[in-house]
Amino acid sequence: MAPSRIQSHLILGVLCCWFCCYFVTADDGIMKCDELRLGQFVCGNPAINPLTQEPFQCANSTAYAPCFPAPNITCKKSGGNVTVFSGKEIGFYKTFPCRNVNGYSYKVAVALSLFLGWLGADRFYLGYPALGLLKFCTVGFCGIGSLMDFILISMQIVGPSDGSSYIIDYYGARLVRLSINNDTYRKTQTYP
């Protein structure tokens, strides 16, 4: 009884070894282009739309930049074709985050809030007609609402009603919100 168990394990081991060796040699050890290591490729700069200050074809907060493998690098493209690159062909596209914008300018919103906020022009511009009408009827909530809206719009807490981002100059004052969740590392407080 024991020899048959050993024989079955031996046959299973040989089959596993053959299976692994077959796929390793069939693959020839050529990696995919999007798995290249740093220094084996160069990614180009994305084309920036001068009107929105965001990359062209920004969809779902993701944009793509073309990446060029270095000369004499051999890798597989996404279709499975093995290619030897000369450094001028696109091997893959790298994703990076971008902001979805729909035409609301940060400068215009702040200027409207500063000068015509008491008439509700800032809220009308950002797509909040009910609040704009309420500010217009109450003269900016007697000035207090105008001041609060100016602060909130300047700090980019209040944005366009459709959930998009402001159009801000490339080197403009863009707010980056940080959030704390379960994956955030918290350093323990040490007291002297």
Amino acid (1-letter code) at residue 144: I
Angle value at C-alpha 103, between 99 and 107, nearest 5 degrees: 90
For the CA atoms of the chain, what is the radius of gyration? Answer: 29
Q: How many residues in the chain?
A: 192
Domain limits for position 138: 103-167
**In 3D, which of 127, 113, 130, 121 has the Cα closest to residue 164?**
127
pLDDT given at position 19: 45
Biggest alpha carbon–alpha carbon distance for the chain:
96
Q: How many domains does the chain have?
A: 2
Tell me if the pTM is above 0.75.
no
Closest CA relative to residue 53, chosen from 111, 9, 18, 105:
105
Question: What pLDDT does residue 31 have?
Answer: 86
Cβ atoms of 54 and 48 within 8 Å: the answer is: yes
Could you tell me if residue 39 is left (phi over 0), alpha (psi between -120 and 50 degrees) or otherwise beta? left
Are residues 107 and 94 part of one domain?
A: no
Do 72 and 89 sit in the same domain of this protein?
yes
Residue by residue, pLDDT tens for the chain (192 residues) are 445 555 555 455 545 544 444 444 345 578 889 899 988 999 988 888 888 888 888 888 899 999 999 999 999 988 888 889 998 899 999 998 888 898 899 999 999 999 999 999 999 999 999 999 999 999 999 999 999 999 999 999 999 999 899 998 877 777 777 778 887 777 787 876
Please report, for residues 29, 97, 99, 169, the alpha-carbon distance to residue 174 in angstroms, rounded to integers and kept in the order given: 45, 14, 11, 9
Q: Tell me whether residue 23 is in a domain.
A: no
> How far is C-alpha 25 from the geometric centre of its chain's CA atoms?
37
Q: Are residues 90 and 135 in the same domain?
A: no
Q: How far apart are CA 22 and CA 16, in angstroms?
A: 10
Q: Are residues 110 and 87 in the same domain?
A: no
In this structure, are 62 and 111 located in the same domain? no
Residue 12 has a pLDDT of: 54
Whether residues 107 and 151 share a domain: the answer is yes
Q: Does residue 52 fall inside a structural domain?
A: yes
Does 113 lie in the same domain as 90? no
- Asked if 91 and 61 sit in the same domain, the reply is yes
Residue 22 confidence (pLDDT): 43
